[in-house]
Chain A
Amino acid sequence: MPLPTPFSPGREPIPVSWVEQASSTILNLFVNETTARESSSRRTLGWVLLEFLGSMNLAITLLVVVAIASVIGTVLQQNQPYSNYVLKFGPFWFEVFRWLGLYDVYGSGWFIGILGFLILSTGVCLYRQVPSMLREMVRFRTQVQVHSLRGFHRCAEWWLPNQALEDVSAAVTDTFRARGYRWRSRDNEGHRVVAAMKGRYNRLGYLFTHAAVVVIGIGGLLDGNLWLKIKEWRGQITIEKRDLSARDVPPISRLQPGAVPAFRGNVMLPEGATANFVFLRLRDGFLVQELPFAIELQDFQVAYYDTGQPKSFISQVRIHDQEHLGNQPLNATIQVNHPLIYRGYAIYQSDFGDGGSKLEFRAWPLSSPRLESATMKSAVGDGLKLEGSNGPLRLEFDNFRLFNLLPEPDVKPDDRKFRNFGPSISFKLRNAVGEAREYFNYMAPAQIEGRWFYISGVRARADEPFSYLHIPVANNSPERFLRFNAWLHDAARVRALLERVAPTTENADFQRDLNVVRANLLALFLEGGFAAVSERAKAVVPADRLREATTLYFTILRDTLAEIFVEVLREEGVNVEQGIGKSDDAFFNDALSALVALPSYGSPFYLQLTGFQQVEASGLQVTYSGGTVVVYTGFALLVMGIFIMFYTSHRRIWAWLAVEDDATRLVLAGTGNRRQADFAQEFSLLQTALARRLGSAPQVD
């Protein structure tokens, strides 16, 4: 019966032919009334199940459902730390989504379920189709009725007076042979059918394609985390949620080599360190997968393009494996796109970081009258306890960077100039209550607008941008500025100085008041910069005189600061008798801006990085996937199958011959299961070829 065709464009649907026969039986196997008819005899549960699983409708539905379900995991970032999700969704929805397994959709039971379903359905489909497909390949279908042949799209008919059936038949078979067809002929009463076909291997296309889907599916399951799920479910493992070092992880959270046929784990190795395990991230915890060998990271290098982008990450590793290598370790280089495959384990370059670089500092006090710098040693990942003015402080060293390639500050971004600002250290300063401020200090001074500065960034929250303190540099050191700053904090010395400097008036009392004012202004300034001063002015001076008063305050303050600065220079041994030079003047202005920034800097000291010994760490990913071979076989099948299916076609031609009086009637008809246009051409070629042999064009065509 014809195909269920909701709507057919222009062309009337190709008349009933065995293609439709074939595919419509495929369809009718499942959904419509014929099912009932043929099944009523043997309607067992298993059979009904096969019906359902093998149904085209189910197949198409599943294809779409899987597609839609896959979207989820792409819009919601997968396998993040659970805390992120809580922040994102709030406790209630977090729980709901966790229950739905949305944080690892592709590992969740329901998703694997539908995937399995699709694969099962394809399998069943194969199971049901293959027999008929194979039959299609071998059967020549010599029982056709002439009227159904006449109904074909491609059909031609000859009436050949005084030509013997045998001769015509021979002409037909010769033509078939010439065009590469195979045929069988069959004599029924009164007529002969010569049934020919070509390209039957098209049928294998279907078989390969769908077998491939099943094979890939199975291989994929082998490589998925199904096994972990099973072990977990059977209580053989539990995931570890505390952050422990690998050696402290209890056996229940450890996997021996070969415990699962596939895993994907990571380990961060500092230079010089060795590991014989990797961590498997799982939901909000991890497992330790032990390896049958040890990986030692000898050296890790990052190379950069001169645009600043990274160019290569290269790990020099050494594999230790008593059992297989004895005492000769295996040296290898691992880089992105060039993993090391060892005993079926693949080792990839996947990440990098700091492996605990050794650091040396000089800590300069920022709010004390004495400038006694302390030197200290630490390492990235470690911390230091300090005694602050109000309660203990804790220093935590987060990261060290050897290069900081940043866009040139003074040029427009388009002409892509980069500068290396050299080594930097980032650390946190945590107060007694646990609040932390984050700092980012460059080791070397940087030149900006022709002047040099020590740059230190600070921020109170991780999501804020850094704001930077620029400490002006004199003779390659922050010392002059810091001494100036210390001076200002030494109230006694300031007072002494103010007294010493030449009185500005005869009136001694006024002079004294003036000095008090100067001292107070200075104090204000140190607390809150110029802002604080104008605040105070607002508070004490009537509005109408505010503006002139403020300017007056500022001038006085500036003079005072200038006098102290000159004093600092004098102490340094700079000759200041005939005023200060241009550069010192610039320095003074930069110093003022720095002083203004200090109150919001929020650290009682400036930490100057004075020395380091970098230790890099390389993030290696180790994977073992037993299913790979299976999957790749599937890939090969899939490609072959699809091309065979699309670009070859199974063609059948029938010649129906009968003797009528002293003439022979010949009906030639054919069809192909793909590429109708090509077949039309093929048929007409064959028809003309035959016509030439018969010496007569067809009467009907």
Chain B
Amino acid sequence: MAATHQAVLDQWESVSLWQKLTIRDVLWGLLVVAGSGYAYALYQGYMDSYEVAIQIGATLALIAWGLYWKPVRLFSLTVAGLTVVALWRYGTDFDLRKSDFLLKYFLESQAAFMWMSSLYVLATFAYFAALLGRSEFTGKTATALTWIAATMGLTGLLVRWRESYLLGADIGHIPVSNLYEVFILFALITALLYLFYEDRHHTRAMGGFALLVISGAVAFLLWYTFGRDAYHIQPLIPALQSYWMKIHVPANFIGYGAFALAAMLGVAFLLRTGAEAHDPNGLLARVLPPLELLDDVMYKAIALGFAAFTIATILGALWAAEAWGGYWSWDPKETWALIVWLNYAAWLHLRLTKGWRGAPMAWWAVIGLFVTLFAFLGVNMFLSGLHSYGSL
């Protein structure tokens, strides 16, 4: 009797991953596999074996992500749905983007990006309104807006991917090949990272600050679109014609996104400390996110960014070894990646081993964003080198 009682208890206490899996989880997995398989059936002609491997990896990653964080499911299914509709409207005629109603006003990449841009900006205001007005409803709206914006962003990217092939089979490529495209990627990743922390920490207080940096990116994007008409799909220069681009660039932008997020939390942190010093029970001191939370998420973001950036830089090195004749050429972009990396390594050490906390680290995170920003923009704008594509 007792023995069985024990057994039951042990059972109850140590449930393995497999036992946790629900029907919905399994369904999710199958759905992703099916979708990925369908895409493969359609486009295998364009892929070499490395790219097939990448697709398999991406499929597994998406499944895992959806198991780890549920909202991903609805998000990816919506994006997939919209994309399928867009591709179906397109067929094989790129010019339909000008005539077909659905494409012209919603799903054609340009249109999608415009929706994305305006929604991000709206979300920014909504988050701040929710913060200052203490309004639950406004907060929910802000979250929804951000999700929809991200959905349009990713849909736009996927559609643009297809559009590049409609433009010419030899032109087609994944849309992460120039500044214009990666800015959208940046907004997307930063938004998703933020939404993740929002969900895990059950607070929307950080939203305004996260969305602020995204709105910044959007502002640049709009200037870049209308000021420099940079939105045209350009064929790839030979150096970029490689499967490495598919993994190197996204990995990099997880890093950039996480660092940007951390910096904005740093800003919030400094505001709050300032507000508390100025008037401990003033509005700001009350509504701004608590310091402990900011400090915690800032650390998590930088840790995640550091990990992603390490991988990205390593992938970059492997690619360079294939394209430029060596895994490291001290090319400005590489070098600035190293600078960013070392900078955050120092940050992590200060925090973990010297136990630094608070304002100094927040300041450092903010400065870190400028270093990162230079690595990501400045290098292309001001310095010349092997990475000289994607210059302004």
A70 contacts partner chain B, Cβ-Cβ < 8 Å: yes
Shortest Cβ gap from A533 to chain B (Å): 46
- Residue on A with the closest CB to B240? A337
CB contacts under 8 Å to B, within A449-494, are none
A416 touching B325 by the CB < 8 A rule?
Answer: no
A305 touching B170 by the CB < 8 A rule?
Answer: yes
B250 contacts partner chain A, Cβ-Cβ < 8 Å: no
- Residue on A with the closest CB to B245? A337
Q: Give Cα A466–Cα B384 distance, bound, in whole angstroms.
A: 25
Task: List the count of A-B residue pairs having beta carbons below 8 Å apart.
Answer: 170
B322 contacts partner chain A, Cβ-Cβ < 8 Å: yes
B321 touching A8 by the CB < 8 A rule?
Answer: no
- Residue on B with the closest CB to A643? B307
CB contacts under 8 Å to A, within B353-371, are 353-360
B13 touching A635 by the CB < 8 A rule?
Answer: no
If A9-B269, A70-B335, A642-B306 touch, whether A23 touches B349 (CB-CB below 8 Å) is: no
Measured between beta carbons, the chain A residues less than 8 angstroms from B335 are: 70-71, 73-74
Q: Name the interface size band of chain B.
A: 35 or more
B336 touching A635 by the CB < 8 A rule?
Answer: no
Among the stretches B87-95, B105-113, B121-129, B338-346, the one at the interface with A is B338-346
Contact among A3, A177, A264, A642 for B326, CB-based, below 8 A: A264
Measured between beta carbons, the chain A residues less than 8 angstroms from B350 are: 60
Measured between beta carbons, the chain A residues less than 8 angstroms from B336 are: 70, 74
If A63-B349, A175-B13 touch, whether A337 touches B241 (CB-CB below 8 Å) is: yes
If A174-B6, A339-B325 touch, whether A60 touches B346 (CB-CB below 8 Å) is: yes
Q: Give Cα A310–Cα B389 distance, bound, in whole angstroms.
A: 13
A23 touching B358 by the CB < 8 A rule?
Answer: no
Contact among A5, A10, A56, A339 for B291, CB-based, below 8 A: A10
Measured between beta carbons, the chain B residues less than 8 angstroms from A70 are: 335-336, 338-339, 342
B342 touching A64 by the CB < 8 A rule?
Answer: yes
A348 contacts partner chain B, Cβ-Cβ < 8 Å: yes
B326 touching A677 by the CB < 8 A rule?
Answer: no
Contact among A60, A305, A307 for B349, CB-based, below 8 A: A60
- Residue on B with the closest CB to A213? B345
Q: Mark B374-392, 1 if CB is under 8 A from A, else 0.
A: 0000010001110000000
A414 touching B229 by the CB < 8 A rule?
Answer: yes
Measured between beta carbons, the chain B residues less than 8 angstroms from A337 are: 238-239, 241-242, 322-323
B325 touching A350 by the CB < 8 A rule?
Answer: yes
B358 touching A348 by the CB < 8 A rule?
Answer: no
Shortest Cβ gap from B204 to chain A (Å): 19
A621 touching B325 by the CB < 8 A rule?
Answer: yes
CB contacts under 8 Å to A, within B1-45, are 6, 9-10, 13-14
If A9-B357, A264-B325 touch, whether A66 touches B235 (CB-CB below 8 Å) is: no
Of the listed residues A9, A174, A178, A677, the one surrounded by the most CB atoms of chain B closer than 10 A to its CB is A9
Q: Give Cα A310–Cα B234 distance, bound, in whole angstroms.
A: 12
If A3-B354, A75-B383 touch, whether A638 touches B314 (CB-CB below 8 Å) is: yes
Shortest Cβ gap from A21 to chain B (Å): 12
B355 touching A305 by the CB < 8 A rule?
Answer: no
Measured between beta carbons, the chain A residues less than 8 angstroms from B171 are: 305
CB contacts under 8 Å to B, within A611-627, are 621, 623, 625
Contact among B237, B317, B346 for A310, CB-based, below 8 A: B237
Measured between beta carbons, the chain A residues less than 8 angstroms from B339 are: 67, 70-71
A9 touching B295 by the CB < 8 A rule?
Answer: yes
If A9-B292, A74-B383, A346-B325 touch, whether A56 touches B353 (CB-CB below 8 Å) is: yes
A26 contacts partner chain B, Cβ-Cβ < 8 Å: yes
- Residue on A with the closest CB to B319? A337
B196 contacts partner chain A, Cβ-Cβ < 8 Å: no
Q: Give Cα A311–Cα B169 distance, bound, in whole angstroms.
A: 13
Contact among B234, B237, B291 for A9, CB-based, below 8 A: B291
B326 touching A693 by the CB < 8 A rule?
Answer: no
A92 contacts partner chain B, Cβ-Cβ < 8 Å: no
B14 touching A73 by the CB < 8 A rule?
Answer: no
B303 contacts partner chain A, Cβ-Cβ < 8 Å: yes
If A8-B357, A635-B314 touch, whether A77 touches B330 (CB-CB below 8 Å) is: no
Contact among B232, B327, B353 for A27, CB-based, below 8 A: B353
Shortest Cβ gap from B187 to chain A (Å): 25
A7 contacts partner chain B, Cβ-Cβ < 8 Å: yes
A628 contacts partner chain B, Cβ-Cβ < 8 Å: yes
List 3 tightest A-B contacts by C-beta distance, closest first: A3-B355, A9-B291, A336-B238
| 14 sample A-B contacts, Cβ–Cβ < 8 Å, listed by A number | A3-B354, A4-B355, A6-B358, A9-B357, A9-B358, A10-B291, A63-B343, A63-B349, A70-B335, A71-B335, A74-B383, A78-B330, A178-B14, A307-B235
Interface residues of A (CB under 8 A from B): 3-11, 13, 20, 23, 26-27, 56, 59-60, 63-64, 66-67, 70-71, 73-75, 77-78, 105-106, 174-175, 177-180, 220, 223, 264, 305, 307, 309-313, 335-339, 346, 348, 350, 414, 416, 621, 623, 625, 628, 631-632, 635, 638-639, 642-643, 646, 677, 685, 689, 692-693
List 18 other contacts, CB 8 Å, given A174-B10, A337-B242, A693-B9.
A6-B356, A9-B291, A27-B353, A70-B339, A70-B342, A74-B379, A78-B330, A178-B10, A179-B14, A264-B326, A310-B237, A312-B241, A313-B238, A336-B241, A339-B325, A635-B317, A646-B304, A685-B13
